[in-house]
Amino acid sequence: MHIPDGYLSPATAGVMYGAAAPFWYVATTRVRQALTGRTVPVLALFAAFSFVVMMFNIPLPGGTTGHAVGGTLLAIVLGPWAAVIGISVVLGIQALFFGDGGLMAFGANCFNMAIVLPLVGYFVYKVISANSEATSTRRLVAAVLASYVALVAAALMAAVEFGLQPHFFHAVDGTPLYCPYSLDKALPAMMVGHLLIAGPIEALATGLVFAYLQRTHSSLIKADVPATREGKLWLLWGALGLVALATPIGLLASGTAWGEWGLDELKDLGLGFIPSGMQRFADWWPAPLPDYSFARMGAVIGYILSAFVGIALVSVLIWLLGRMLTRKGKDLATEQSPSERDAPV
């Protein structure tokens, strides 16, 4: 579902940055008010989980692959605005260090996976789970259904963004300048796989983790109660480490995700031409660990090391952001009068 550079025109990329910017602003404001030194490790943990779970490639129809995201789970635990920040950090690290997605397309990828996905997922979850106990079956069903709907919604956004490119951006003779596949190809190609396979796997992964949290860390999923660090949170970090060791399973899925092909792969697919915009912008950023690999290391070892490097990068950046936001939040609270501080957000 990651959109690489070259698949969107600079104009579309700019529009998507503009569309994401208000949500980033609101998320920063809300998180600054709610985030504390006790919740930062929780945000880092679930953001790192999202990074790792995206490394598990899933075979989809047509020889392509997809992946889960974990954004709905993060929204349930810390709220949708914290999820916007957390998933945006993950997508930024993926693009900068691993060449997964693009820096020009970062706004679009964030809009789809860090904004639409957690906001839709959280809304569906709240509607279905209203007035239920944290450990109830209804709340588990709500998490499962919400994560499915949210992933499909994010895939739909990506499909529309792909499919509009040849309609609006083409040469005089009609040759597409960027993504060469129109809506009639992009929509079914993206949606069938996510409706039938990637969506259910996202729901399954969310359901399994959510059920575990219900049994062991129910305070993390209580309605309208900010998530706090528990004494056994280190067990969840340990579990994340075990999941990271299993990431090479994602290498078993052959093929590239739909719409993420490199220039050579497009030639092999028999497209017959390479859009000029893609030739200009594709692979312009020299990611230090492209495709989650290390030079002179086997694919399996490189993939595992990349998982742990990603966990470390996500955790450090979330910690730095958390310190900055909590400090600003304290400064803001100090400046406010008691009546302003007590006013509902």
* Predicted model pTM: 0.91
In this prediction, residue 235 carries a pLDDT of 86
Residue 171 has pLDDT above 80, yes or no: yes
Q: What is the pLDDT of residues 24-72, one digit of tens each?
A: 999 999 998 887 777 899 999 999 999 999 999 998 877 788 899 999 9
In this prediction, residue 330 carries a pLDDT of 57
Q: Which residues of 88-118 are buried (b: 16+ CB within 10 A; e: fewer)?
A: bbbbbbbbbbbbbbbbbbbbbbbbbbbbbbb
Q: What is the pLDDT of residues 259-274, one digit of tens each?
A: 888 888 887 777 788 8
In this prediction, residue 79 carries a pLDDT of 93
Question: Please, which pLDDT band fits residue 157 given cuts at 50, 70 and 90?
Answer: very high
Site of tokens 């900055």:
324
In this prediction, residue 217 carries a pLDDT of 84
Which of 197-201, 213-217, 258-262, 338-342 bottoms out in mean pLDDT, i.e. has the lowest? Answer: 338-342
Question: Please, which pLDDT band fits residue 341 given cuts at 50, 70 and 90?
Answer: very low
Question: Where do the domains of the chain lie, and which CATH numbers do they carry?
Answer: 10-342 (1.10.1760.20)
